[in-house]
Chains A and B, each alone.
Chain A
Amino acid sequence: MGAEPLKRTWKVQVWRRFIIGFVALYLIVPLYSMFDFSTKPFGLQDKGRNLRAWRIIPSQPDLGIAILRSLITAGIVMLLILFMVVPTVIWVQLKLPKLRRPLELLCLLPLAIPAIVIVVGIAPLYRWISINLTESPITLSGVYSMLVLPYTYRSLSAALDAVDIHTLAEAAQTLGASTFRMISGVIMPTIRTGIINGSFIAIALVLGEFTISNILNFKTFQVVIAQIGRSSGSVAVSVSLASILFVLVLLLLVPAHKRREEVLDVDLA
């Protein structure tokens, strides 16, 4: 009798390992190939592998400033999410339940519309902005904060659905909290994991965006990488790899944050 489940768990184990291994390969092989390519001998004077492509990254013109711009843009997008999207989503969930579906639809729209279409649509606006206001690429944070809506909305609404925010909101109010303090002091901390997840995904997206910034002629991080790629493939690949790893570290910070919290809870138990 005991043999049957035993055999099954054994099989499950094997499958699990197989699938994990497969996914790992799927993720690691391209990364390794990039690394491999970026360290290949370059031209005739090179003997064997070297890190030249990596060493000359810092001396690339425009690269440093482009990274800075993209980071600032990402930072602004994050602030926009925190101070506009999050309160809006909470408010709609709490006070305007009828608007939930329309809001969700609106937030998911950027997924349905190809980036290229969005560019064509907003190009005149950006032309006007660059003529009359500023040419700074940081203005891209406007489109970007729209572009990341599907992802931030999803993680926010999932977090909100997981708790009974109506009761929490009412409890806070009866204890004397104004609407502002109720949202900032109770609801936002309650769904902070969702807010953090949403923000990190947004940052990753902003740092990786190419189509829109390229067509609008803004020299963001990805655009500069593409430029470098045109003159030196191996440098472009090494920069890309570096950026992927950077974003990866960023995304890994999310679960790390969560884990810390859980460890804390267990300690107190």
Chain B
Amino acid sequence: MQLVDLTKHFGKVKALDGLTLDIAQGELVALLGPSGCGKTTALRSLAGLQELDRGQMIVDGKDVTFQNANKRGMGMVFQAYSLFPHLTAGENVEYGLKLRAHKASADKRKHRSTELLEIVGLSTHRNHYPHQLSGGQQQRIALARALAISPKVLLLDEPLSALDAKVRTQLREEIRRIQLELGTTTLFVTHDQEEALSIADRVGVMRNGQLEQIAVPSELYDRPSTAFVAEFVGLTNPIQGKVSAGSIDILGGSLKVLPGSITSGTGIALVRPESIQVESNKSGEARIFSASFLGASCRLMITLSDGTRITAQMPSSESVGLVAGASVNVSVLDLPVFVKAVT
């Protein structure tokens, strides 16, 4: 599937500004971005629910740009609950099958819906009406309904954002499992970076209707190509230093700068909390301001000698003796960092 130069204005607002994206067969790509960056607009355009000002959409080598929504064969799960309230869960799943041109027989439909209800783990809820289901169950049925028509592409628009944290993590893993099982090409939209990083093959970070960077999750995290990506995905410590010859000097170390960073003068390195090394030292110049225990890991707020405050994170097992008020030495791991200009 290819999206080329998708552009859409709403009055003066540029919701999509030349979005270009390739998705391979069977791949799960997550679009990540702050609210209002055009994620929903992109999905709705792809589903044919929204006309574009400009751009082209190609699915399986066929140009679908001007195809009606009801002919595109894209399954969509919405952010809002969207089950048809007058139909049972089973009937909802069968709805799309009933509309197919070569209508499947009632037996075949029933067989297919049973299969999908099983996949989403709700076969016992076939005869329940939507108002008798919890939010998470409703979204599962919505997923089953979208998958029932064997869609060319599955579009998920923040399907988990209305659910509480526990259900959310559980369901996102289930979505990934089902997607891998069925091999459905999927575009998953979210503003939650953890969600995107944890289930996607590749994550695209969007900003103001454009794709800032698209990469596999680890690369996106370790090698951001813009300051926006570095700061939006994960936590960063802004630390000022001098840049020269492709390196920046901070915290007594010299780190390589990533492509896209500024190349000379004073810059701000965006350093991950895990890259900060903390060492207990009575005569250290830095001081631990606070320590918070997060289970497997531990997060420290550290005040440097010049008064700036940075965050360090490490496995809990390595945090012995690092308590609030302790004096420490701070250094930084030798990993490439992104450096942005001082503003």
Contact = CB atoms under 8 A, between A and B. Distances in A.
Q: Do A and B bind each other?
A: yes
Interface of A: 163-164, 167-168, 170-178, 181, 186, 189-190, 192, 265, 268-269
A222 to B, nearest CB: 37
A176 B99 contact: yes
User: Would you call the interface of chain A mostly helix, strand, loop, or mixed?
Assistant: helix
Interface string B39-81: 0000010011100000000000000000001111111101011
A131 B44 CA distance: 56
Contact of B82 (A164, A178, A192, A269): A164
Given A175-B145, A265-B132, A163 B85 contact: yes
A181 B99 contact: yes
5 nearest CB pairs, A to B: A175-B96, A176-B99, A171-B82, A173-B69, A189-B86
A174 B99 contact: no
Contacts of B85: 163, 190
A173 B149 contact: no
B111 interface: no
B84 A186 contact: yes
B137 to A, nearest CB: 13
Contact of A170 (B49, B88, B149): B49
Contacts of B49: 170, 173-174
A171 B78 contact: yes
Contacts of A168: 82, 84
Contacts of B282: none
A170 B44 CA distance: 9
Given A174-B74, A174-B75, A175-B145, A167 B80 contact: yes
Contacts of A190: 84-86
B277 interface: no
Contact of B129 (A164, A167, A170, A268): A268
Contact of A265 (B47, B99, B129, B142): B129
Contacts of A176: 70-71, 73, 96, 99-100, 149
Contact of A174 (B72, B81, B84): B72
Nearest to A269: B132
Contacts of B127: 268
B78 A170 contact: yes
Contacts of A174: 47-49, 69-70, 72, 74-76, 146, 155
Contact of B76 (A171, A177, A186): A171
Contacts of B75: 174-175
Contacts of B70: 173-178
Given A164-B82, A174-B72, A269 B128 contact: yes
A100 B326 CA distance: 66
Given A170-B47, A170-B78, 5 more contacts: A168-B82, A168-B84, A174-B49, A175-B75, A186-B84
Contact of B99 (A167, A175, A189, A268): A175
A81 B85 CA distance: 23
Contacts of A268: 88, 127-129, 132
A139 B88 CA distance: 42
A189 to B, nearest CB: 4
Q: Which of B75, B85, B146 has the most CB of A within 10 A?
A: B85
Contacts of A192: 86
B84 A164 contact: no
Contacts of A173: 48-49, 69-70
Contacts of A172: 84, 95
Contacts of A175: 70, 75, 95-96, 99, 145-146, 149
Nearest to B101: A176
Contacts of A164: 80-82
A265 B131 CA distance: 9
Nearest to A171: B82
Contacts of A177: 70, 99
Nearest to B151: A174
Interface string B316-333: 000000000000000000
Contacts of B81: 164, 167
A170 B47 CA distance: 9
Interface in B235-293: none
A268 B88 CA distance: 10
A173 B100 CA distance: 12
Nearest to A164: B80
Contacts of B69: 170, 173-174
Contacts of A163: 85
